[in-house]
Structure 1
Amino acid sequence: MTNNQLLGTWKLISAIAILPDGTIEPDVYGNNPVGYITYTPDSRMMVMFARSDRTPFSIDVKSPLGKDIQKLPVAELAAAFTSFNAYAGTYKINGNTVVHHIEIASIPNRLGTDLVRTFSFNGDRVTLKTPPTLSDGVVKVFELVWKRV
């Protein structure tokens, strides 16, 4: 994959949603979302991002594999899950489109699926856009801006 401008690690700067009428929903992942996306030369990718205002658990949980996490209220677990997103797999580029083939994901239904993103560059930033996606009963395009690390 020569001349692949996506190679490397990028830090999340912003996440917005664009409605069909052009209205913008700012900060769909909070005011200052945090996250990283990495593209490797061997066509592997991984991404994780979260709201920056996530509430800590009410008990000190050291590992998601321990039994302490099972003591948490369902509402706390749900809040943690819905404020964090991650997946990894392979990717292919075709023009200004990148297809992420999902091999592991925080949302189990994504396993084995392809997530298509268009991309554009502006200096040290890349913007990734989803195709129109039904979200909360409304079709939206999600736009995430990343800055090269």
Structure 2
Amino acid sequence: MLNNQLIGTWRLVSCEYRDTDEQVSYPYGKDAIGYLIYTSDGYMSATLMRANRFKFTSQDIAAVSIEEQATAVQTYLAYCGKYEIQANKVIHHIEASLYPNLVGVDQERFFKFKGNRLLFSTPSFPMNGKQQVAHIVWERLSNGQC
């Protein structure tokens, strides 16, 4: 039953990190853009990015500066793979990712539904010298049915 509730396309509403002091940060900005897709055959894909990202100075990707490439990576997250549900959490088994260190890693998301929204929280993780917990809200766009 829970699997059926996840299936479909979700649009990002908000993504915030809270540290151990309850300080809130927005890694992709307060107006971040993103989509999350769960398929009925057990695959998922997630993308999140900062709105209004700077465009590269060249159409030739090989000619783009290292600084521009670094900024692009720091303002975008994408990964995909299989998923499974265990009680109140979904586990993303990452097979491809913008960040190479995520490939082969399982990402856990604790979830609950509130109306047409999917609320995620993560186990704590280190960032900028403090433990953080991500709180991500998604809004349903479709239920995966044609």
TM-score by length of 2: 0.91
The residue aligned with 1:30 is 29
How far off is 1:24 after superposition? Answer: 2.3
5+ long unaligned stretches in structure 2: 142-146
How far off is 1:69 after superposition? Answer: 1.1
86, 97, 118: which is aligned to 1:126?
Answer: 118
Letter of the 1:90 counterpart: K
The residue aligned with 1:105 is 97
How high is the sequence identity, in percent, across the aligned residues?
A: 37
How far off is 1:109 after superposition? Answer: 1.0
The residue aligned with 1:41 is 40
5+ long unaligned stretches in structure 1: 62-67
Moved over 6 A (4+): none
Q: Secondary structure at the match of 1:144?
A: strand
How far off is 1:18 after superposition? Answer: 1.2
Cα distance in 1 between the residues matched to 2:30 and 2:86: 32
1:50 lines up with 2:49 in the alignment: yes
How far off is 1:102 after superposition? Answer: 0.5
Cα distance in 1 between the residues matched to 2:2 and 2:98: 31
Letter of the 1:89 counterpart: G
Conserved in 2, the CA contact under 8 Å of 1:124 and 1:148?
yes
TM-score by length of 1: 0.89
Letter of the 1:22 counterpart: E
How far off is 1:3 after superposition? Answer: 4.3
The alignment's C-alpha RMSD in Å is 1.1
1:17 lines up with 2:17 in the alignment: yes
Query: What is the CA deviation profile of residues 17-74 of structure 1, one whole-angstrom value per residue up to 9, with x for unaligned ones?
Result: 111233322x321121111001111111001110002101112x2xxxxxx2121111
Q: Secondary structure at the match of 1:112?
A: coil
Q: Secondary structure at the match of 2:31?
A: coil
1:140 lines up with 2:132 in the alignment: yes
Conserved in 2, the CA contact under 8 Å of 1:33 and 1:51?
yes
Query: What is the CA deviation profile of residues 93-137 of structure 1, one whole-angstrom value per residue up to 9, with x for unaligned ones?
Result: 011100000110101111111001101111111111110000111
The residue aligned with 2:62 is 70
How far off is 1:81 after superposition? Answer: 1.1
